Structure 1
Amino acid sequence: MKDLAAQQRDVRLLARACDRAGLATAYGHCSVRLDASSFLVCAPKPMGLVTPQDLGSIVHLDAPLPEGVLGEVRMHREVYRLRPDVNAILRFISPHVTALAALGRTPRPRHGFGAYFAPQVPLWPNPELVRNDSAAEGVARTMGKNAGVVVSVNGALVGGADVAQALTLAIFLEDAARVELCALQGGCADQAGLSAEQCAARATWAGRVAERQWEYWVRGDPEQ
């Protein structure tokens, strides 16, 4: 298991990679699980402005959020509670996911990247910011066993086995939303996407799928 200093570095790398990938501007946050009862969330500032000197905050699953931690980090806490398989979370607001959510839609699995969210990305329908425990619990339960959840018009949240998977899933979800919008614009949204069998076969992490995304987006980072 990595020590706390290495976990702090991972969170900073994930934050800046998310910004480089165009998934967040002034808003968003990311975290990594520390153990069965706590996680580490990035500094409360725009992810692209996180510096090598910034330290994240430790949040305990059975306690209120620490002072200074952003209110929507409650979503991380509730997902970690419900999903022991999730070790890294990325909360982001990207353009295609948000545009699609404004139509009350989420991506269907129409291409390889979308297959990771089969049968379809769930939607938390309330457009208000998630700043209370009840709403955060609702988002986590809406996500269920899916790799992500669209948080109405406020972006999305994804959870992976590690930071590389979390980043990859965020990139894949935004691209799936782009493809869905193209289908809508072309009048083809009613056409079937990939089948359940095709999705199961395609949604693989073999072949360094996540690792290659991670290497691409952290290249040149001051802590890499």
Structure 2
Amino acid sequence: MSLSVTEDQQRLVRQAARALGRNGLAHAYGHCSLRLDDDHMLVCAAMPMGLIPPGRAGTVVPVRGPLPEGVLGEVRLHQQIYQRRPEIRGVCRSMPAQLMSLSALGRVPRPRHGMGSYFYPQPALWPDVQLIRDDERAVQAVDLLEDSPALVMKGNGVVTFADSLEKAVVLTWFLEDAARIELDALRAGLADEALLSAEDARARAIWGGGIAARMWAYLTQGDPEA
């Protein structure tokens, strides 16, 4: 029996993809997905995310097993995350500019401000610049995650994930802002200054008060399906 995908689920994946593409968080490359159930996810169309038109259907992909024809190879990272983290409902793969620059130096953002606190003590770093397009490398990369909500790939962008696709998109924006500040600190020669303590980071990394909803509204303003 085929899995039924609702139009609301399809629309959410399209909106998330366009939010990443239209806000400078992805260019020609990248993808996002929504968990449908324990065994399936919905992945956006394999095209530049900012150009996905209204009504363009995504592809249902198994959480375990071979990828369907036409699905990008790095979706194997989504599979590994969904397999290991049953609470995760959304995954984003993107290439934000500031984060690309920082990761090319073999560095990741450290917690210095409110938005960086969500990644305390720091996101995981995959140190290989090659694309992850096979199961073995996807397993090795996701093995690095521990409790981090993000995997930074050296000179190759980031994967973020959360208990909703909207939050995963928001985390991408938060991490890019943290990368901007990290680069500013490096340029100023103050890279070892002004780091948040564990206590401050835990107290600040909250989702109450509509934090995710407000950023989601900001990132999806003007979307043709909003």
- Structure-2 separation of matches of 1:75 and 1:62: 11
- Paired position in structure 1 for 2:38: 36
The one-letter amino acid of 2:157's match is G
- Please report the RMSD computed on the Cα atoms of aligned residues, expressed in angstroms: 1.2
The one-letter amino acid of 2:105's match is L
Indicate the percent of aligned positions where both proteins have the same amino acid.
48
- Paired position in structure 1 for 2:125: 123
SS of equivalent to 1:143: coil
The CA deviation string for residues 11-55 of structure 1, in whole angstroms up to 9 with x for no partner, is 000000111221011011000000011101000000011011211
- Paired position in structure 1 for 2:19: 17
- Paired position in structure 1 for 2:159: 157
Structure 2: runs of 5+ lacking an equivalent: none
1:192 deviates by 4.5
Task: Give the TM-score taking structure 1 as reference length.
Answer: 0.97
Native 8 Å contact 2:64 2:83 kept in 1? no
Native 8 Å contact 1:164 1:213 kept in 2? no
Structure 1: runs of 5+ lacking an equivalent: none
- Paired position in structure 2 for 1:77: 79
1:171 aligns with 2:173: yes
Q: Considering fraction of residues, name the structure with more helix.
A: 1
- Structure-1 separation of matches of 2:104 and 2:165: 28
The one-letter amino acid of 1:120's match is Q
- Structure-1 separation of matches of 2:141 and 2:10: 26
The CA deviation string for residues 58-104 of structure 1, in whole angstroms up to 9 with x for no partner, is 11122100000001111111111111121001100011111111111
- Paired position in structure 2 for 1:87: 89
- Paired position in structure 2 for 1:217: 219
- Paired position in structure 2 for 1:99: 101
- Structure-2 separation of matches of 1:125 and 1:202: 29
Number of residue-to-residue matches in the alignment: 223
